[in-house]
A and B are shown apart, each in its own frame.
Chain A
Amino acid sequence: AQSVTQLDSHVSVSEGTPVLLRCNYSSSYSPSLFWYVQHPNKGLQLLLKYTSAATLVKGINGFEAEFKKSETSFHLTKPSAHMSDAAEYFCVVRSPNFGNEKLTFGTGTRLTIIP
């Protein structure tokens, strides 16, 4: 079984300040982890993914995330927020299942950027 918990439903930061979106997961096996971003009324776009290589993963638009097995966490960070970062962010877990892997989505974190 696998699950993912996004600890904050809404995060507000000022433009130019750091962003931290928190995600904890559970998985019976070594998971793959993803962050997706969704702008209003749009589909989801992959920001970054962890697939058992380097624990610090760099993604698009300056985002990065660190896989911490001991803490079962995969938090998303960005050093300096931009207005265009305002969107909904989803943490996603995927466990090995013999070619029948499915994604489990968190409930999302809405990021608001204050000018």
Chain B
Amino acid sequence: DGGITQSPKYLFRKEGQNVTLSCEQNLNHDAMYWYRQDPGQGLRLIYYSQIVNDFQKGDIAEGYSVSREKKESFPLTVTSAQKNPTAFYLCASSEGLASYEQYFGPGTRLTVT
């Protein structure tokens, strides 16, 4: 089955620790994205990548970092510099940045205490 996998589904961390969220896709898509979702708000773009070894900041990149060493993988690191890291994180992919449809993974719920 083709799709996007995110692991783990739930993640708990202590304040001050960095944590990395996994995102893998087997759709052969060039573009990948990370969004953050908070209650009562729409999705906000953190980072996106158009191609391997290239990525761009989205609207709320501060306190986050990414890498794109392989086409199928786009991990997100939530650093200790992120002031409010507790949220639901969604990864998505599309054939390209100009593609009409983005496909979403099931999400990872991160709780930092």
Contact = CB atoms under 8 A, between A and B. Distances in A.
A67 to B, nearest CB: 14
Classify the secondary structure of B's interface with A: loop
Given A100-B97, A102-B45, A45 B104 contact: yes
Most A-side CB within 10 Å, residue of B4, B9, B45: B45
Interface residues on B, range: 20 to 34
A42 B42 contact: no
Interface residues of A, number: 25
B100 A49 contact: yes
Given A34-B101, A44-B43, A51-B100, 16 more contacts: A32-B100, A41-B9, A41-B109, A42-B107, A43-B107, A90-B42, A99-B97, A101-B98, A102-B48, A103-B45, A105-B42, A105-B44, A107-B41, A108-B40, A108-B41, A108-B42
Interface of B: 4, 6, 9, 40-45, 48, 58, 88, 90, 92, 96-98, 100-107, 109
